Amino acid sequence: MKTLAILGAVSALTLAMPAYAQAPQPTSPGAMQAPNAQTPNARGPSAQPAETIKNVVVIDRDNLPPTAQTQVDALIAETDAEHLQSLRKSIDSIPRASSALQAKGLTSSQVVAANYAQDGTLTLIVKQAS
């Protein structure tokens, strides 16, 4: 269940990122609200057959906007090791996802969240060791 919550939040974040980059900066501190953490159509990689994945995007958590980083960190803190391990096993079972990680010198052990969009894009959020 927590994996789905993480996936839902990441889905909202990945959809909000382009809008965040184009949105004018708010004039008051409370003018911008965080995106909704629950997205009804968010699904994990294990919920989709690997052949429907058309594109894999790997994003470093540190490259997200600060508000998105905070949301991802909060979700990571709520996720137990069992759910995270299940997510990583699912990613390992998808050749296209494994290849995208390997191309960037990463492994599934660095994935902290994932999102599968209806357009066939699998987004993997990674956190590299500091």
**Chain center to CA of 55:** 14
pLDDT for residue 96 is more than 70: yes
The average confidence (pLDDT) of the chain is 73
Residue 87 lies in a domain: yes
pLDDT of residue 129: 74
**Residue 24 — pLDDT band, cuts 50, 70, 90?**
very low
The verdict on residue 37 lying in a domain is no
Can you tell me the distance from the alpha carbon of 70 to that of 97, in angstroms, rounded to the nearest whole number?
A: 25
- Choose the most confident range, by mean pLDDT, from 29-33, 63-67, 112-116: 63-67
pLDDT score for 130: 62
- Specify if 109 maps to a domain: yes
Answer whether residue 122 is part of any domain: yes
The count of structural domains within the chain is: 1
Per DSSP, the three-state class of 32 is: coil
Task: Tell me what the mean pLDDT of segment 17-44 comes to.
Answer: 37
Amino acid identity of residue 88, one-letter, is: R
Model pTM score:
0.62
| pLDDT per position as a tens digit, 32-62 | 333 333 333 344 444 445 558 999 999 999 9
* Beta-bridge partners for 113: 125
Task: Count Cα neighbours of 79 within 13 Å in the Cβ-side half-sphere.
Answer: 26
Q: How many CB atoms lie within 10 A of CB 89?
A: 12
pLDDT at residue 50 in the model: 52
Domain that holds residue 60: 2-20+43-126
* Burial (CB count within 10 angstroms: exposed 0-12, middle 13-18, buried 19+), residue 108: buried
Burial (Cβ within 10 Å: 0-12, 13-18, ≥19) of residue 11: buried
Residue 114 domain flag:
yes
pLDDT at site 85: 94
Q: What is the pLDDT of residue 8?
A: 53
Q: How far from 5 is each of 11, 64, 105, CA to CA, in Å?
A: 10, 18, 27
| Residue 34 forms part of a structural domain | no
80: in domain: yes
Is the confidence at residue 84, as pLDDT, over 50? yes
Burial-class residue 79 by CB neighbours within 10 Å (0-12, 13-18, 19+): middle
Per-residue pLDDT, 119: 93
